[in-house]
Amino acid sequence: MRILSGVQPSGKLHIGNYFGAIRQFVELQHKGHGLYFIADLHALTTIRDAETMRALNFDVALNFLALGLDPAKATLFKQSDVPEVSELQWILSTVTPMGLLERAHSYKDKTARGISADHGLFAYPVLMAADILIYHSDLVPVGKDQKQHLEIARDIAVKFNTVYCKDFDPHTGEGGVLKLPKPHTMDETAVVPGTDGEKMSKSYGNTIDLFAPEKETRKRIMSVKTDSTPLEAAKNPDTCNVFALLKLFAPPAELAEIRAQYEKGGVGYGDFKKRLADYFFDTFGTARKRYDELCNNQDYVYEVLAKGAAQAREIASELMDDVRRVTGLR
């Protein structure tokens, strides 16, 4: 089974990204052949500074490796290192109805907010379809926000197969050059709240980053917003941001004990936050150590990316041979 997913290098990764996505990628590497890529071509729609792009690309690779992606099991590579993807994108765009793209949330939301869209943003789902289809992916783990893009990828694959493969059966998906991918909606680890209680997101400046210096991380955790219930009073764990974050880390028995402390009173929010910080460093201690080691061993990271790109290109080239044949380009 081939598992594929991509992460845009649009900023430093935070615990929302970890619990919502990366942790599941790392677990899935044991269930089949995982192909994970850094979606730098997609990120060009927002990052327009070369140094920033290079630094963030490298950082995402570091993050994956530090968090347990094993390059002996899974393939890690940069999207732009497989130029065949851009070729397939063009070919797919010639069978993609305009209406399909006009209905895409990524495009509709921006234009509705008055942001003028460029062609890259409009064509974003076609590039994503090329990413998925070029590797014959069986399973594509994505968050809820990406589900529509996956449906578009399926629609484009059906359209291409219908036009070019006479034996294609849209009901079974058999007989086409492009394999129809299955979405794998990741566990809805309820949305991880940020320090202000809103959804944790790079764009809201409310993140707890995975690999920031310890002092800064503790400060961020101590800044999580709480209400003004006094120390001695009973507190409601189910409306508390600190408790919502503790839930991600604490084993069930310890969580039950923390819940009891909330409900009984006598423990202040400061203490709960300190406990959260301890869990954070226990959970990510090994990954953070590995991150520092990898920072001092950059050649290794580049080597992993180069090997990953070569493996990915091999798979992509095979598919492109078929695509060029059925379209008459070759």
For ligand ADP, the binding residue among 49, 119, 171, 203 (CB under 6 A) is 203
**Binding status of residue 20 toward ligand TRP by CB under 6 A:** no
Minimum Å gap between C-beta 5 and ligand TRP is 4
> Between residues 86 and 298, which has the closer beta carbon with respect to ligand TRP?
86
Q: Is 235 a catalytic residue?
A: no
Residue count, binding to ligand TRP (CB under 6 A): 12
Q: Is 202 a catalytic residue?
A: yes
CA 14/CA 9 separation, integer angstroms: 12
DSSP calls for 274-329: HHHHHHHHHHHHHHHHHHHHHHT-HHHHHHHHHHHHHHHHHHHHHHHHHHHHHHT-
Span from 3-11, 80-88, 122-130, 174-182 in contact with ligand ADP (CB under 6 A): 3-11
> Between residues 142 and 210, which has the closer beta carbon with respect to ligand TRP?
142
Residue closest to 216 by CA, chosen among 277, 269, 272, 268: 277
Upper half-sphere CA count for residue 294 (Cβ side, 13 Å)? 23
Exactly one of 12, 110, 147, 247 is catalytic; name it. Answer: 110
**Binding status of residue 39 toward ligand TRP by CB under 6 A:** yes
**Binding status of residue 143 toward ligand ADP by CB under 6 A:** yes
Sheet holding 2-7, edge to edge: 75-78, 33-38, 2-7, 139-142, 182-185
For ligand TRP, the binding residue among 14, 23, 42, 218 (CB under 6 A) is 42
The interface partner of residue 5, options being ligand TRP, ligand ADP, none and the CB cut-off 5 to 8 Å by kind, is: ligand TRP
The interface partner of residue 6, options being ligand ADP, ligand TRP, none and the CB cut-off 5 to 8 Å by kind, is: ligand TRP
Exactly one of 12, 199, 247, 274 is catalytic; name it. Answer: 199
DSSP state of 191: P
SS3 sequence, 192-255? CECCCCCECCHHHCCCCECCCCHHHHHHHHHCCCCCCCCCCCCCCHHHCHHHHHHHHHCCHHHH
Question: Is residue 2 classed as helix, strand or coil in its secondary structure?
Answer: strand
Minimum Å gap between C-beta 6 and ligand ADP is 10
Is residue 205 classed exposed, middle or buried when 0-12, 13-18 and 19+ CB atoms within 10 A define those classes?
exposed
Residue nearest to ligand TRP (CB): 6
- Give the length of the chain: 330
**Orientation of helix 50-66 relative to helix 298-327, angle to 10°:** 100
CA 251/CA 247 separation, integer angstroms: 8
**Binding status of residue 195 toward ligand ADP by CB under 6 A:** no
Span from 31-39, 121-129, 195-203, 287-295 in contact with ligand ADP (CB under 6 A): 195-203
Q: Is 31 a catalytic residue?
A: no
CA 304/CA 40 separation, integer angstroms: 17
**Binding status of residue 5 toward ligand TRP by CB under 6 A:** yes
2-7 vs 33-38, strand pairing mode: parallel
> Between residues 20 and 194, which has the closer beta carbon with respect to ligand TRP?
20
> Between residues 38 and 192, which has the closer beta carbon with respect to ligand ADP?
192
Binding interface with ligand TRP (CB under 6 A): 4-6, 8, 39, 42, 128, 131-132, 140, 142, 146
Chain residues that interact with ligand ADP, rule: CB under 6 A: 7-8, 10, 16-17, 19-21, 143, 145, 189, 191-192, 199-203
Active site residues: 110, 199, 202
